[in-house]
Amino acid sequence: MNTIPVNTAGRRGFKLTVDKLGKDQGKANHANAFIGFGVPHRKSSTGAYKMDALRQGIPVNHDINPSPDTVAFVSLCHEGLFNTETIALAKKVIAAGGTVIMDAQGQHRGQSHSSYNKTGEGKVQDGLGNPQGITREGYTIWGNPKNIR
């Protein structure tokens, strides 16, 4: 495993090549790490975000060496694949004093527990427990809220 330390020099954010609902770029703007796997049977936004992060030198999944400065944007496919692994990686970031940022909580389109997201994003958010806050844009965060600017 190649462990890439999170950039602690203050660099935050990476550019997404797709953002179907116009909500995910905001999470990527805060992030210096990305947790998400995509799916093997189709193109997915999560898979595209993973490739975007890799192309821009943002550590992804098991290559994240979490620290108190880590802000990990977490994305999941609606099928609920990789939920257990995603929860474990997110908890590792939180345990290191870092921050995890995900969709706004709720049942409306684009939110964590919508009919589309509840099996993926919703289950992972449930697995992380009560969040520590929300960003000014309405995204949900776990861990250190001071990392969000």
Q: What average pLDDT does this structure show over 31-55? A: 93
What is the reported pTM? 0.87
SS3 (DSSP) at 100: strand
pLDDT value, residue 6: 45
pLDDT value, residue 45: 92
Closest among 130, 36, 144 to 95, alpha carbons compared = 144
Query: Residues 41, 101: contact at Cβ < 8 Å?
Result: no
Indicate whether 13 belongs to any domain: no
Q: What average pLDDT does this structure show over 65-87? A: 94
Domain count of the fold of the chain: 1
Indicate whether 15 belongs to any domain: no
- The residue among 78 and 100 whose pLDDT is bigger is 100
SS3 (DSSP) at 141: strand
Indicate whether 14 belongs to any domain: no
**Residue 111 lies in domain:** 22-147
- The residue among 87 and 120 whose pLDDT is bigger is 87
pLDDT value, residue 61: 98
Query: Does the pLDDT value for residue 10 go beyond 70?
Result: no
Indicate whether 67 belongs to any domain: yes
pLDDT band at 3 (very low <50, low <70, confident <90, very high): very low
Q: CA-CA distance, 64 to 76, in Å (whole number)?
A: 17
Indicate whether 12 belongs to any domain: no
Beta bridge pairs of residue 73: 34, 101
Q: pLDDT digit string (tens) for 89-142? A: 999 999 999 999 998 777 767 767 777 777 788 899 999 999 999 888 889 999
